[in-house]
Structure 1
Amino acid sequence: MFKRIVISTLLCLLSISVFASNKTVLSQVETMTVAKSGLQYNARIDTGAVNTSLHAVDLEIIGGASKKMKSNVGKIVEFTTENERGEKKRIQAEIVSTSRVKNSQGIETRYMVKLDVGFPSELHDIHVNLRDRSHMNYKLLIGRNFLKHNYIVDVSDKKTIGPLAELSIKQTGLMYNTRIDTGAVENSLHAVNIRVENEDKVNIENNIGKMITFTTANEKGEKADVRTKIRGTSLIRNAQGTERRYMVRLSVGEPRHEFIVDVNLKDRTEMGYKLLIGRNWLQGHYMVDVSKKH
């Protein structure tokens, strides 16, 4: 009887282990398709995005559009999409909802449609928001609503981390409820009241190497002042254009396991997360599993 119990337990544990590891590992960029388009996209895998986003222009509501976007839910929208090679296709999809997307520049409302997205041999019927991504490098951005279908994002070959993590910045003495974002090249930290010694206000490049002092805060409202040296500047491109930010070097990571990494400084007052972790922290250290709880 005891022998049976031991064998049953071992089989159960083995089964759990196999199930836990039965996930497809994705790299930072994958070649994917949107079934109705027949196009191949260089898709950016972005654990920082809730939903998947597809480049779409010249939207036309079949049967006529209402002035209120929500009133068009349930209708068919026709639009033109395009991949990175300039190949275009006009396709139709059902509007299932509207999505309010919040970023540092404000709030934008987009149509959400149902589309089959993924690899030709493994498509998933998911909700996709439509937006003009003509000025973006990637015309298809894969968000967490796709990745939840048993995928892990690998920007390293080390430990696994979830889409959210409690991380420390040694120089602040604070803990941050951090968004892990494989769509971001580098880390970004909330910083206000920025003061630069002998600042050149015309050309910020001339401030590299100078001392900078700024105030940061975590999601609990706990604040700290940090004084350090400007390591460089970073040109950030997003949907609203470009902006240049100061870069500093800080010790970021799990408590007692922090490591030094470059971080750009940005007023993230209106953002839900005061520390955003990008690929320059993840690279060589972590894989991202969006189903993992922190």
Structure 2
Amino acid sequence: MLKSIILSIVLCLSLTFAHAADKQILKQTEMMTVDKSGLMYHARMDTGAVNSSLHAVDLTIIGGAAKKMKQNIGKTVEFTTENEKGEKKRMKAEIVSTSTVKNSQGTETRYMVNLEIGFPDALKKVKVNLRDRSHMDYKLLIGRNFLKKDYIVDVSEKKTIGPIAKLNIKQANLIYNTRIDTGAVENSLHAVNLRIEKEDKTDMENNIGKMITFTTENDKGKKVDIRTKIRGTSLIRNAQGSEIRYMVRLSVGEPGQEFLVDVNLKDRSKMSHKLLIGRNWLQGHYMVDVSKK
């Protein structure tokens, strides 16, 4: 009986993951279009909105408008839409319903029309409400009615990086031709001539918290001394055996986008890359594309 329950749970989880894997991952914003508009919009993904919304002004009900908005359902509305570049297009669509929206500004009723929106090669027909979005950053808002079943929104907006990248260490003001290594847990920096204040030469653990000064060098031969605090030690195992290295915290990243991360210190004189980036720098920030140059 227990075996059957476990098997059912595993099968259920497998189906869930398989279903999630079929969905396309979207960033918080994507370049999308509205069919027959010829316009590209910088569209905002909004999982908090039930329906999608398009910037529309100068609405005209063809054949004349009734006093109540609901009485215009079934009629054709003509409107002008505009993207973030200021490019405009006059469009027509059938009113299929009205939608009452409550927000911080109050309550308003909008016309709903069926439009094909999305990527130029992957359009999806959904209900879209028409409203004046002139004062909003995004003229096309993508709601749950577009996203459901087909898309997942990744709000982390991880950037893509190649197997080799030009990264800066802020404390050294040096650019390194850096190896990106998803197989490494930690980052590793070339460091020689280590000098520790009141060093205990018999037990590295006793030096944690002390100030260390070391010399680093990039691939162009530029050398700099860095002085910082020892944050810990790290046991590294590789094909050459095992060794314990000091860990320090440095600001590492693309120039102007550095962030603090732990780095182990190692004499990398005989290695091609004086800075190696591991998973503790990549995680939550970057995806690695090995085909990227």
TM-score normalised over the length of structure 1 = 0.48
Larger relative contact order (CA 8 Å, sep ≥ 6): 1
Larger radius of gyration: 2
